[in-house]
Structure 1
Amino acid sequence: MEPCLKKRDVVREDRISSLPEPLILQILSLLPTKLVIATSVLSKRWRSVWKKVPILRFESKGNIQKFSENVSMSLLSHKSPVLETLHLKVNDRCEDVYIGIWAGVAVTRHVRELELDLGYLCGNPVRFPSCLLCFDTLETLKLKHYILLDIPSMVSLKSLRTLHLHSVVYKDSESVRNLFASCLNLEHLVVHRGFHYNDGVRFVIESPSLKTLSISGGETYGKQNGGYVINVPSLQHLTIQMLKGYEYCLIENAPELVDANIINVSHTTNETIMGSLKSAKRLSLDLSPLEIAYPTGLVFYQLVSLEMYTHKVAWWNLLALILNNSPKLQVLKLIDRSSHQPKLVSDKKDMAPGKWNQPESVPECLLSHLETFVWTRPDWIREEEKEVARYILRNAQQLKKATFIIDPIEPKRLFRLAKRREMLNELPAVIMASKSCNLVVESE
């Protein structure tokens, strides 16, 4: 029996060893680099296999000095002609020189995706060598946390398609302008401004090729942070959220916009955000109509789908404006987050008496195009909100389905059961404009 066991073990070993090298490298690319390097002790053949793996990922755990030296030695020993991906996550303070060595090796290995994440938040930020921002083959660059970008002149990033800047420190507005101006073929940009950086930097984003843009920023303290000027004629997908304390967000040119997600930008001194969305086909809005301007004469001629959050004061007035100026709207979704956030429930209860200012005449979209109406977690604490639902059902002549998605009542909140029953009993009693509309009430 023993010889048979040994034979089977040999077969297993032979199956691995006999695999084509490209397949072995592909398998090793899926593993943490620490484990990949450990395969060098398996046999003489495996001693140098790891050096050809095109994807390397390192994360510091423990002794930062030893980690830095090991990463440097591993990169210098690497022999693959093209380094597809290099990910470096450093959780402790390391010497600036190591960042230069790692980036320098990445340049010589023709790296295509580089991610550098400095996860600590103490001391001075680490300066990324601007002289190394000349990656002719680099397609994706992700810089995260406590990295200083000081770019006094243009660099060469002609192949860059994707750029992520998360809580990065910028020396000045000129560094930002030089960076974006050097990315001639950029298609995807993500910018997150850390709340602890009141740098006053002005972001000018001018990119004829940019297709997706996501901007977010934590709340700033003290002086206002610099704003954004965006000129992106090819932009298709836009997300802007949490721009508290920023002076402005000016979108000058976005004629190809397909969808936009705008969240909590009410404290930005700006009256052009809504106007810049006029070409969008799909909108998701979490805004207060009391703090955001709606330009006179603004019409959403292309809008077919609208999603609105209903926890802000007098949100229904913004809805009325958009309904009246969206002649092709087909889908309307309302989402009430307040049932999951007690503070928001309290805010709604404390609202001053208001009024649902329904349009003077029935909007064209209700007469001819609206087919789907969904209200998720309707709380309906206020009469104005009930009236919104009644108005939609009574006037949407082409409506095919109206869905109200409700929360299960928890035992500790049984006091709301009577109000829930009242709401459910009111809906079927509404005389709907569409005779073919399917009214559905379902639990989440």
Structure 2
Amino acid sequence: MSSTNANVDRLSLLPDVLLAHILSLMPTKSAVGTSILSKRWKSCWTLVHSFDFHYIDHIPDSDTFLSFVDRVLKLCKTSQVKLFRLHCSESLIGNTNVPKWINEAVKLNVCELDIQVIIRELPLSLFTCKTLTTLRLAIGGCDSDVLNVPSIPSGVTLPCLKTLDIHVFNEPFVNVCKLIYACPILESLSLSLEKRRWREDNQEYSFNIPTLKRFELKTPRCTSSISKVVLNVPNVEYLILGGFLSSVFVMEDLMSLVEATVLYSEVEYKHLVIELLKGLSGVKSLSWSTSTFGVPLDFPLPKFPNLKRLEFKRFSCFGWFLMFEVLQQSCELEHLCIEEPEEICWKEPQSVPTCVLLKLRSMKFISFKRRECDIKFIEYLLANAKVLKTLTITSEIWPPVDEMRLCEQFMKFPSASGCCEIQFVRKWSHFYNKLA
């Protein structure tokens, strides 16, 4: 290759549309910074289709940030903005600049809006945008921490919106309802509700969202009575629940549910655990990580006829009981994973669940600590799981000699399966495969 060819700037030879696409993958400040490279690059950034503005990360003061965003939007030449992201934790940005920028993004036929700002009002144009497909809002007011959504006239919708992700503070429900009702083809909904001040409200909010496929809800601890919210989501496939389990929502008609993840840190009302499990009875994959202290043991659990995969994480003695109760009701379970159970005195169940005897093919024990209760559980599993193919033990760093000793101990246990492979996995290493 000649020296002339070796020095050719091939990147600069690319067409404008391709250079603009590359610059759109960068933070906007970095994309604009390429204008100083050469005359060829001077105006390439004006064709970018994605804008990513972070006040804290890139700009030293609010006046500079305001001028920068104004200049970028003024010189923008794209006909459609695919992404407009604005993350500002500084209240000095003001209540007039952000609505102005959002209005500009709407005029540029924005598809995805990601807004995290401290502001009291949002422009009406945001909620009448015909091109918007994804909307993420994390909005706080400077004084009262309230999301203020402008009045939405009847009949106005967000006709193309499929993904709605809202993080709001205090008394959010009236405004949240407005947004949800304005989305006729909504497929993914995420609600994160913060703070503990809730006004007294005895109304029942009922949502019928037949198009919803994914629902995520994080609820706060409530210090007063709150509204009952009923969600009718017959086509939801993925459900994630977290925060504090209380009577915020009632889920109904989950017949299409494929996967559910429960991540509650606290449970206020005992019966809600059982009611929640009833609502999840049709799920195919369940991940459960929540406080189960005080779960009423005399409440019958529902059957889980479709459950194939079950994960239990960080549970106490009541969690062991609850897990075996779920196993008893899950005749088709094939994959089981438990993670970081508390140390308790092992008490062998009075009967062996049908799924353990006839269906369970793989078992994973994460953060195995070689405690007596952990080893007793493994012994119980090997003695009863007739079709078990793989037992995976994941632990912290162990000396190889300890793995060998533990494997030898497991090999002495009676094994109902004639072809179970035991795999020891360190978090930083490859598999150590042993045959049981």
TM range (shorter): 0.7 to 0.9
Q: Distance in 1 between matches of 2:172 and 2:25?
A: 39
**Equivalent pair of 2:292/2:315 in contact (CA under 8 Å):** no
Q: Residue by residue, what CA displacement relative to the aligned partner does 1:200-257 show, whole Å, maximum 9, x if unpaired?
A: 788755321111222224x54744666653221111111112225x434311121111
> 1:135/1:196 Cα in 2 relative to 1: closer, same or farther (>3 Å)?
same
Mapping for residues 399-410 of structure 1, pairs under 5 Å: 399-408=388-397
Aligned to 1:192: 192
**2:135/2:163 contact within 8 Å kept:** yes
Unaligned runs of 5+ in 1: 339-347, 411-416
Query: Partners of 2:191 and 2:62 in 1: how far apart?
Result: 28
CA contact (8 A) 2:301 2:326 kept: no
1:85: which partner in 2? 83
Partner of 1:238: 239
Q: Distance in 1 between matches of 2:8 and 2:206?
A: 59
Greater displacement, 362-371 / 290-299: 290-299
**Structure-to-structure mapping, 1:34-433, within 5 angstroms:** 34-41=29-36, 46-60=41-55, 61-93=59-91, 94-118=93-117, 125-146=119-140, 148-153=147-152, 155-166=156-167, 168-169=168-169, 172-195=172-195, 198=198, 205-217=207-219, 220=221, 222-223=223-224, 228-243=229-244, 246-264=246-264, 266-269=266-269, 270=272, 271-292=274-295, 296=300, 298-336=302-340, 348=343, 356=347, 358-360=349-351, 362-379=352-369, 381=371, 383=373, 385-408=374-397, 426-433=409-416
Number of equivalent positions: 408
Contact 2:199 2:224 in 1 (8 A): no
Q: Which residue of 2 aligns with 1:341?
A: none
Shift of 1:297: 5.4
Instruction: Note the C-alpha offset of 1:393.
Output: 1.6
* Partner Cα separation in structure 1 for residue 385 and residue 256 of structure 2: 29
CA RMSD of aligned residues (A): 3.2
Question: 2-side partners of 1:306 and 1:30: how far apart?
Answer: 38
Distance 1:289 1:220 in 2: 16
- Alignment counterpart, residue 22 of structure 2, candidates 27, 36, 50: 27
- Residue 229 of structure 1 aligns to a residue whose secondary structure is strand
Deviation at 1:389, TM superposition (A): 2.7
Partner in structure 1 of residue 431 of structure 2: none
SS at match of 2:216: strand
Match of residue 342 from structure 1: none
TM-score of the superposition, structure 2-length normalised?
A: 0.82
Q: 1:395 to 1:53 in 2, by over 3 A?
A: same
Letter matched to residue 231 of structure 2: I
SS of the equivalent of 2:178 reads helix
Q: Which amino acid aligns with 2:347?
A: W
Structure 1 residues 50 and 438: alpha-carbon distance in aligned structure 2, compared to 1, 3 A threshold: closer
The answer as to whether partners of 2:283 and 2:304 remain within 8 angstroms in 1 is yes
Cα 1:38–1:303 shift into 2, 3 Å = same
Using the TM superposition, name which of 283-292 and 43-52 deviates more. 43-52
Q: Deviations for 1:103-122, whole angstroms, at most 9, x for unmatched residues? A: 1111110000111122x6xx
Q: In terms of mean alpha carbon deviation, does 33-42 or 428-437 score higher?
A: 33-42
Question: Is there any run of 5+ residues in structure 2 with no aligned partner, and where?
Answer: 142-146, 428-436
Identity of aligned residues (%): 24
Aligned partner of 2:434 in structure 1 is none
Partner SS, residue 19 of structure 1: coil
Q: What are the superposed Cα offsets for residues 147-182 of structure 1, whole Å, 9 maximum, x if unpaired?
A: 62425445421111112213x236542222121111
CA shift, 1:43, in A, is: 5.4
User: Do the aligned residues in 1 keep the contact of 2:172 with 2:193 (CA within 8 Å)?
Assistant: no
- Alignment CA distance shift 1:443-1:173 (3 Å): closer
Distance 1:426 1:230, change over 3 A: farther
